[in-house]
Amino acid sequence: MASQFLPTTLTNSKTTLSFSSSLSSPTPLPWRRISTTPHRRLRQSSAIQSKIREIFMPALSSTMTEGKIVSWVKSEGDVLSKGESVVVVESDKADMDVETFYDGILAAIVVGEGETAPVGAPIGILAETEAEIAEAKAKAATKSSPSSSSSAPAAAAPIPQETSNPAPAISQPPSPPSKAVSDGPRKTVATPYAKKLAKQHKVNIESVVGTGPFGRITAADVEAAAGIAPAAAASNVASAPVTSAPAKAAAAPSAPAPAPAPIPGSSVVAFTTMQSAVAKNMVESLSVPTFRVGYPVTTDALDAFYEKVKKKGVTMTAILAKAAAVALVQHPVVNATCKDGKSFTYNSNINIAVAVAINGGLITPVLQDADKLDLYLLSQKWKELVDKARAKQLQPHEYNSGTFTLSNLGMFGVDRFDAILPPGQGAIMAVGASKPTVLADKDGFFSVKNKMLVNVTADHRIIYGADLAAFLQTFSKVLENPESLTL
C-alpha cells in the first residue's frame, strides 16, 4: 500500500512529511451518466466535490509507535496550501515538521499540543470548503468521544482492556467501517506494527477485518487472526493458581501493589518520548544472550597522533570510529546482525553508531560507510551529526542504520565500563580513559605507558569469544599505528 506520508527534502534543518487521508464517500466515476434535471445535476456535482480529510499521526521512524504533538503551526480555521507545514511532531528520536498534501481548511484539531497519539490515529480534520467545517467538527467530536468512553473501562480493568478482544466491541462507532473495509474494494489500511506482525505470523492482511478507526487494521486484529492469545488472557491464566493457593501465597503478590509513599519533597516526572524509546530498547536487549571481552590498548602513539591532528578539526571519536571500521573490514562477523534467532546477516555497509547524551535522553548518530570515508571528512560529518542530534533534527536514516555501536566515556575519566547491546546489532564497544600504567617487560624492567581498556559486549548467538578477541587485537594494532588511518 502506498504510504500516506511522503517525505520531502530537509528544510531549515527540519525534516518535513506530508500527510492526509480522504474520509469522504466514494465519488461517482466521471463518465457515469446522470439522467436527472439540471437542478438535481447541480446537487450531485456539489456532492462530488465535497471532501473531508483525516490527518493521521505519521510514522516518523521504524520504531515509532506513538507521537507527541509539540506544537500546531496552524490554528483551527486557517486556510492551508499543499506543502505547507501544519504541525510539529516529536518522535522517539527527533522533532519533525509535518506538512499537508492537500489544500483546504484546518477544521478541527483532535489531539492538542503536549498530547500523544498512536501512529495512525487521527490528530486533525481537514475540510475542503467552509461549508464542510461543521461536518468536519462533528467528525472530530466522534474521534474524541470513543477514546473518552473507552477510558472508563480502562480505569476499572487496566490490564485486560488494552489487549483483550472485547475492547473494540465496547466502542461501537468503529464497528461499521471495519465491515466496509472487508467487504468493499477499498485499499487495506493497517498500522506499521500490524503489517510487521502479519508478515511474522504469515497472516494474509487482506483478509483481516480491522477494528481501528475507519477500519484500520491494528496489531490486536492480526494477533486474533493468527490465533494468538492476548497477553491479558495469559496473565489471567497465570493468576488462576495464585487465587487457589493458600492465603500467604496470595498475600505475596498483593504486597507490592500499593506504591510506597513518596519521600517528602520528591516529584514524579513522566518519561519523554525519547526516554520511553530508550527504556523500551534496553528492555528488549535483555532477550539477547550476550558476553563481554575486555582488552588493554597502548595509546602512546594514539595520544601523540591526536595532538597533531586535532588542530585540523579531527576528534578522538572520529579516530576511534575509523579504527573500529578498519578492524570490522577484517572481521565482518562482528559487524553482522541476528534478528530472528534463526539466521544472521552479514551487513554490506559498516555504519558506526556513536552514543551521544543529549538533553532528555540518549541517541546514536550514525557514521555511514565509516571505513570508506577519509578521517578528516569523517570528523566533519560527525560534528554535523552531533549538532543535528542536539537540535533533535536528525533524519531517521541518520540514527537507525547503525551496524556497530561505539560508546566513549573516557573523556569523563571513566577507566572501564560495560555497555548494553542495542537491539538489532551484533556488538557495542565501550572505551575508557587512557591512563599511565606501570608495565614490566620480559626482562623484568619497568616502564610507564599509557593504556586504555576497551570492553566489547557482543551477541553470543553469532559472535564467539575467538571472533571478538581477534577483532580487538586488530583494533589495538590499528590504534598503535594510527598514521595508517590517514592513508
Least trusted range by pLDDT, from 33-42, 123-132, 192-201, 245-254: 33-42
Question: 456-472, pLDDT tens digit by residue?
Answer: 999 999 999 999 999 99
Q: Which of 173-177, 267-271, 326-330 has the lowest mean pLDDT?
A: 173-177
DSSP state of 83: T
Would you state the pLDDT for residue 262?
74
Where in 359-474 does DSSP place strands (E)?
Answer: 361-363, 366-367, 404-408, 427-431, 435-440, 446-459
| Residue at 55: amino acid letter | I
**Cα–Cα distance measured from residue 428 to residue 433, given in angstroms and rounded to the nearest whole number:** 17
Does 12 have pLDDT greater than 80?
Answer: no
**What tens digit of pLDDT does each residue of 129-180 get?**
777 777 777 777 776 544 444 444 444 444 444 444 444 433 344 444 444 4
Q: pTM of whole model > 0.75?
A: no
Cell numbers given for 479 = 590504534
CA distance 394 to 453: 31
Instruction: Give the whole-angstrom CA distance, residue 374 versus residue 376.
Output: 6
CB 48 within 8 A of CB 28: yes
d(CA 123, CA 58): 10
Residue 195 contacts residue 205 (beta carbons within 8 Å):
yes
Q: How far is CA 212 from the centre of its chain?
A: 22
H-helix or E-strand containing 100?
Answer: strand 95-100
In sequence order, the 6+-apart residues with CB closer than 8 A to the CB of 286 are none
Q: Are 459 and 421 in contact (CB under 8 A)?
A: yes
Residue 225: which of 240, 199, 252, 204 has the closest Cα?
A: 204
Dihedral pair phi/psi, residue 323, rounded to 5°: -65, -40
* Residue 305, pLDDT above cutoff 80: yes
Distances (CA, A) of 248 to 174, 201, 256, 298, 462: 45, 41, 14, 59, 45
Give the pLDDT score at 187. Answer: 61
Q: Which residues pair with 11 in a beta bridge?
A: 14
What residues contact residue 166 under an 8 Å CB cut-off, 6+ apart?
none
Helix 219-226 with 192-200: angle, nearest 10 deg:
20
> What is the pLDDT at residue 259?
66
CA angle, 474 then 297 then 465, to 5°: 55
Distance between CA 351 and CA 337 in Å, rounded? Answer: 12
* Helix boundaries (H) for 85-170: 133-156, 158-163, 166-170
Q: Which residues contact 151 (CB under 8 A, 6 or more apart)?
A: none
Q: Write out pLDDT tens, residues 398-419.
A: 888 899 999 999 989 999 999 9
Residue 206 · residue 189 · CB < 8 Å: no
pLDDT averaged over the chain? 76
| Identity of residue 142 | T
Q: Is the pLDDT of residue 62 over 90?
A: no
Active site residues: 460
CB 364 within 8 A of CB 386: no
For residue 44, what pLDDT band results from cuts at 50, 70 and 90? very low
Helical (H) or strand (E) element with 72: strand 66-72
Q: Is residue 139 a contact partner of residue 21, using CB atoms and an 8 Å limit? A: no
DSSP letter (8 states) at residue 75: -
Nearest Cα to Cα of residue 65 among 91, 94, 87: 91
Instruction: Write b or e for each residue in 418-451: b if 16 or more Cβ atoms lie within 10 A of its Cβ, otherwise e.
Output: ebbbbbbbbbbbbbbbbeeeeeeeeeeeeeeebb
The arithmetic mean of pLDDT across residues 25-37, rounded, is: 43
Per-residue pLDDT band for 296 (boundaries 50, 70, 90) equals very high
**Do residues 334 and 404 lie in contact, with contact meaning Cβ atoms separated by under 8 Å?**
yes
CB 282 within 8 A of CB 420: yes
How is the chain split among helix, strand and coil, in percent rounded to 5?
A: 40, 20, 40
150 within 8 A of 130, measured Cβ to Cβ: no
Sheet holding 52-56, edge to edge: 21-22, 52-56, 122-127, 104-109, 79-80
For residue 413, the tally of other CB atoms under 10 A from its CB is 9
Answer yes or no: are the C-beta atoms of 331 and 464 closer than 8 Å.
no
Kind plus residue range of the DSSP H or E element containing 85: strand 85-90
Of 481, 103, 458, the C-alpha closest to 289 is 458
